[in-house]
Amino acid sequence: MVVTRPLLGAPLAAEIMAAVHERVEAGRTAGRPTPCLVSLYRQIPGSPFVFYARQQEKAARQVGIEFRGEIIPPEMDRVALAARLRELERARDVHAVLMEHPLPSELDFDGAVAELGVEKDTDGVGRANLGRLAIQRPVQIPAVALAAVKTLRHYGYEIGGSRVAVVGRSPTVGLPLAVLLASKGEWGNATVTLVHSRSSNLRGLLAEQSIIVPCVGKPGLLDRSVVPEGAVIIDIGLSSVPDPSRPAGHRAAGDADMASLEGWASALTPVPGGVGPVTVAQLMANVVHGWELLEPAKRG
């Protein structure tokens, strides 16, 4: 029987956070102003946006980044939202802007984020950043995609030359990850299979893969009936499932069925505690990257 290695996110997240903190300190010493992240989100009952904003605020505070949470009011339309992002793009004291998604289609996520320059589009989900990633001249790369590849690297898995399946092709998660993995850059050179809701024969598509990265949002989608024995699973999926044994009545779940894959997959990122904390840390690294580009050092 295979012994499944748990790929915990905390050690890598701590490493990234320590490096970010050092860069913030060095930048401040060199005369840069405090980096500032603005996170825009809707306040919908039952949605995880408020929780995400709290996590970001806590991480930002740890590394010396100013955090401003901004609620998108229910009456705000696409014109007003785009205007707000234009304002934030012009604001000299703001270095990073994050817009939580999904947004209702009438708010036009893509059109709103397009108001941001590549440096301030801190999660790299605007069309300019995605286009730059596609031509292999990235500025900001989606934090979750970097979290997935950094987790592999941290635990010693070779990406170059490996066969990797990305399950899910959204423009903010699966697609940029697949592009990154297939690119010639330092996080790439994999042979990538991109699986989506119209793909048929999931088991057949995954059969030859050594690494599988689900990013779908369907708990239990991957179990040992479709995953080849010995595969490494980097589980990006994050859903809330009912669990009467928990005080909250629910718990977080990934796309991988952990119980089924234990003793079958060679390694697995748990949910919670896997890719999530690394993504938050990487988001802070993206903030600092944009800040360094926007604020040339004055001394040093």
Least Å distance, CB 154 to ligand NAP, is 16
CA 75 to CA 247: how far, in whole Å?
Answer: 34
Q: How far apart are CA 294 and CA 139, in angstroms?
A: 12
Among 68, 163, 218, 224, binds ligand NAP (CB under 6 A): 218
For position 196 contacting ligand NAP by CB under 6 A, the verdict is: yes
Tell me the closest approach of the beta carbon of residue 18 to ligand NAP, in angstroms: 20
Reported as type and span, the H/E element at residue 79 is: helix 78-90
**Judged by CB, which is closer to ligand NAP: 94, or 283?**
283
> What CA–CA distance (Å, rounded) separates 216 from 135?
25
By C-beta, is 26 or 134 nearer to ligand NAP? 134
Q: Which residues contact 218 (CB under 8 A, 6 or more apart)?
A: 237, 239, 255
User: Are the beta carbons of 39 and 98 closer than 8 angstroms?
Assistant: yes
Among 85, 88, 180, 215, binds ligand NAP (CB under 6 A): 215
Q: Does 124 contact ligand NAP by CB under 6 A?
A: no
Q: Is residue 268 close enough to count as binding ligand NAP by CB under 6 A? A: no
Query: Residue 210 in contact with residue 231, Cβ under 8 Å?
Result: yes
* Residue 273 touches ligand NAP, criterion: CB under 6 A: no
Exposure of 279 by Cβ count < 10 A (0-12 exposed, 13-18 middle, 19+ buried)?
A: buried
Of 60-68, 83-91, 155-163, 189-197, the window that binds ligand NAP (rule: CB under 6 A) is 189-197
If we measure between CA atoms, which residue out of 122, 95, 104 comes closest to residue 42? 104
CB of 124 to ligand NAP, least distance (A): 12
Instruction: Report the nearest approach of ligand NAP to the CB of residue 99 (Å).
Output: 13
Choose between 139 and 280: whose C-beta lies nearer to ligand NAP: 280
- Determine the interface stretch with ligand NAP among 65-73, 178-186, 203-211, 231-239 (rule: CB under 6 A): 231-239
Minimum Å gap between C-beta 30 and ligand NAP is 31
Site membership for ligand NAP, residue 197 (CB under 6 A)? yes
Judged by DSSP in three states, 279 sits in helix
Q: Which of 216, 231, 253, 256 binds ligand NAP (CB under 6 A)?
A: 216
- CA-nearest of 162, 144, 167 to 226 is 167
3-state percent helix, strand, coil for the chain, nearest multiple of 5:
40, 15, 45
Number of residues that bind ligand NAP (CB under 6 A): 25
Binding range to ligand NAP, per CB under 6 A, among 60-68, 131-139, 164-172, 284-292: 164-172
Half-sphere exposure of 51 (CA within 13 A, CB side): 8
Residue 217 exposed, middle or buried by CB count within 10 Å (0-12, 13-18, 19+): middle
- Asked whether position 239 contacts ligand NAP by CB under 6 A, the answer is yes
Contacting ligand NAP (CB under 6 A), which of 39, 122, 129, 172?
172
* Sites of contact with ligand NAP (CB under 6 A): 144, 167-170, 172-174, 195-199, 215-218, 221, 236-239, 275-276, 279
